[in-house]
Amino acid sequence: MRGFVANSDYDWFTHLRAIEPPIDEVGFWKPGSGTNFAAPREPLFFKLKAPYNALAGFGR
């Protein structure tokens, strides 16, 4: 199975996590035209940038 690891900002991650009621979808984009995201239903992992350097979430 193929997937994608996306670097994400800690402040953005905590903002999304704090939304009530919890949300089902998040739009994730990256500037530039060379990004190959996962195909529909393939896993997408959110990795926090330094100094956290940890996987913090996932979706499909």
Q: What is the pLDDT along the chain (60 residues), one digit of tens a residue?
A: 788 888 889 999 999 899 999 988 887 776 775 666 667 788 889 899 999 999 998 887
Measured distance CA(12)–CA(6) in Å, rounded: 13
Provide the pLDDT for residue 60. Answer: 77
pLDDT digits (tens, 9 = 90+) for 23-39: 888 877 767 756 666 67
Provide the pLDDT for residue 14. Answer: 93
Measured distance CA(57)–CA(60) in Å, rounded: 11
- This prediction has a pTM of 0.70
Q: Would you list the domain boundaries of the chain?
A: 4-59
